[in-house]
Amino acid sequence: MGALTVNTALLRQILVGFVRDEVYKVGVRKGVLGLSGGIDSALVAYIAAEALGPENVYAYTMPYRTSNPESEAHAKLVADSLGINYKVIEITPMVDAYFTLVPDADNMRRGNKMARERMTILYDHSAEVGGLVLGTSNKTELLLGYGTLHGDMASALNPIGDIYKSQVWELSEAMGVPREVIEKKPSADLWAGQTDEQELGFTYRAADELLYRMVDQRMSREELIAAGFEAQFVDNVHKKVQGSHFKRRLPIIAKVSHRTIDRDFRYARDWGK
Amino acid sequence: MDFTVALAQIKPKLGCLDDNLALIEAAIEKGIAAGADLVVFPELALTGYFLKDLVPEVALRLDAPQIERLKILSKRISIAVGLVEVSSDFRFFNSALYLEDGEIRHVHRKVYLPTYGLFDEQRYLARGDRFRAFDTRFGRVGMLICEDMWHLSAPYILAMDGAMTLICLSSSPGRGISGTEGLGSAAAWQKLTSTTAMFLNCRVFYCNRVGYEDGINFWGGSEAIGPSGDVTDRGAILEEDFVVAKVDGGALRRERIFSPMMRDENLAITVKELKRIDRENQC
């Protein structure tokens, strides 16, 4: 576990500074985020409130009729404890309107549609309040591809995308995220009783231990197995990382000119800022 | 001689020459007001670091009006500053200028361009081809740019060329967060600057920038290090700062009496063995 523990004071300083700097340099002062009631968005709300001031953070909970009421209660608890702007926007009417047209859609399609519905609401509110959408995907779920492309993965900037779930827990403790939120089982809350770990088939702790060694330390398959990871687990996780890589990249462009965007037309996003 | 050095731990804006020049000029005035004799800026202070295709767009010839302005200011304070230099044959260098008494005293073109991990310098920049010490009103000085310092031979050559002060201009990204310790990159640099000073009986002035570019932070922590390797002054981590350090001229003399490693350093053996290695490598 040693490898995944972090200096939370320093991590907090870097992430708070990141949000402040990257928001301000765009010329705005506000941040917008979806508050699910889970730990990732709670932590981002804490970071954003410290970076921008609670009055400049706009959080939205966007429940569907099957969402667990506890999620909304936890989101409200986070918003209240921080004193950030908070609103609940039901997505049931829009989502149901669509699914009356495609009634046979499975759980995955429904979950993705809900995530994308929430994304459009966040971007609309980003325009309304004049703030940037803050991402809430952590490194574990980004690497595993456990998120919806153009849904919960969409954001202008993401303060927690380079920290593993285990580190999210650790930093959340240090920043005072409410205990109920830290201790509950992670869930995308797409259907009743769903938990991430059940759906993934392994725990976040186990995945983090493996991913840290595989990705950060670049240990080979042989080294990982020698270190005590089961071959099947290593292969399964590796397959998820590789299979979801498209979600972490911009769309690829057919090259015909001498300067193709992102290929040989290369500028930082902070160009001129 | 005793003198005062200022380390301007600034936050340049990516690709904004005018804004950065204003920032640099303000820091120079601040240095003058603080009674500093020398002000050191970070690597690429005039341009920002992750320039990519902006390199040719922000590059300056050495006769550029921006440099003229800095030359004029150098009549009042000596200045070490980083920028992109374009040569007459249109090569672009990550360069450090040393300006004093209204003149460019020295140009160092970064030799070791990191091109691995998050770095991509060799894609955009041409490589310098020399390490030379030069005379200043503070004695003989050598300049290094960031990665240069990670190559033992670079500060060694400067010290053998007579430098007693090493100035390192840096844009070091913060990375490697773990345990209860500080940033991995900061810890590694702190070991390096201190050890280099100690090995070569030189004082080291290290100026690193702060701010974020596309989510990458620069950690600051600029330092003045005495010739025994002791850090006398250190800037804030991750925050803008302006370090004003009094330099005790006598410390260098005393250190060179206590540990005369540079006196005893045998250039002839080093050159002979390096030549042999070179010869053998050619076979």
CA dihedral B135, B97, B208, B20 (to 10 degrees): 150
- What are the structure tokens assigned to A196, written together? 């991430």
Domain boundaries A2-248, corresponding CATH code = 3.40.50.620
- Dist. CA B232–CA B268, nearest whole Å: 34
For residue A224, give how far its alpha carbon lies from the nearest alpha carbon of chain B (Å).
Answer: 20
pLDDT, position B179: 77
**pLDDT tens-digit map of A1-49:** 456 899 999 999 999 999 999 999 999 999 999 999 999 999 999 999 9
Q: Which residues contact B119 (CB under 8 A, 6 or more apart)?
A: B147
A6 touches chain B (CB under 8 A): yes
Query: How far is the CA of A269 from the CAs of A26, B9, B32, B53, B261, in angstroms?
Result: 10, 23, 35, 12, 48
Which of the four pLDDT bands, split at 50, 70 and 90, describes residue A63?
very high
Domains of chain B, each with CATH number or no CATH: 3-282 (3.60.110.10)
Mean residue pLDDT of chain A comes to 96
Identify which of B52, B182, B217 has the shortest CB distance to residue A268.
Answer: B52
Nearest to A39 by CA among A77, A66, A6: A77
| Interface contact flag, A5 B16, Cβ < 8 Å | no
Strand duo A30-34 + A57-61: pairing: parallel
pLDDT, position A188: 84
pLDDT, position B227: 97
For residue A23, list chain B residues with Cβ-Cβ distance below 8 A.
none
Q: Where are the domains of chain A?
A: 2-248
Among A155, A267, A269, the residue to mutate for chain B (most B Cβ within 10 A) = A267
pLDDT, position B76: 98
Identify which of A7, A21, A271 has the shortest CB distance to residue B212.
Answer: A21
For residue A3, list chain B residues with Cβ-Cβ distance below 8 A.
178
Q: Could you tell me if residue B220 is left (phi over 0), alpha (psi between -120 and 50 degrees) or otherwise beta?
A: left
pLDDT, position B113: 98
B257 touches chain A (CB under 8 A): no
pLDDT, position A189: 84
Assess whether pLDDT exceeds 50 at residue A55.
Answer: yes
Look up the ipTM and state it: 0.92
pTM: 0.94
Taking the mean position of all CA atoms in its chain, how far away is CA B217? Answer: 19
Average the pLDDT over B112-133 and give the result: 97
For residue B269, give how far its alpha carbon lies from the nearest alpha carbon of chain A (Å).
Answer: 40
pLDDT, position A1: 42
| Interface contact flag, A22 B215, Cβ < 8 Å | yes
For residue A198, give how far its alpha carbon lies from the nearest alpha carbon of chain B (Å).
Answer: 29
- What are the structure tokens assigned to A208, written together? 């983090």
Q: Contact, B175 vs B184, CB < 8 A? A: yes
CB interface of B with A, residues 146-185, below 8 Å: 174, 177-183
A260 touches chain B (CB under 8 A): no
**pLDDT tens-digit map of B73-110:** 999 999 999 999 999 999 999 999 999 999 999 999 99
Q: Give the whole-number percent of chain B exceeding pLDDT 70.
A: 100
Residue of B nearest to A259 (CA): B53
| Interface contact flag, B215 A18, Cβ < 8 Å | yes
Average the pLDDT over B65-70 and give the result: 98
Assess whether pLDDT exceeds 60 at residue B203.
Answer: yes
For residue B182, give how far its alpha carbon lies from the nearest alpha carbon of chain A (Å).
Answer: 7
3-class SS at A207? helix
Average the pLDDT over B270-280 and give the result: 97
Q: Which residues contact B158 (CB under 8 A, 6 or more apart)?
A: B131, B132, B133, B142, B143, B144, B166
Identify which of B50, B178, B214 has the shortest CB distance to residue A3.
Answer: B178
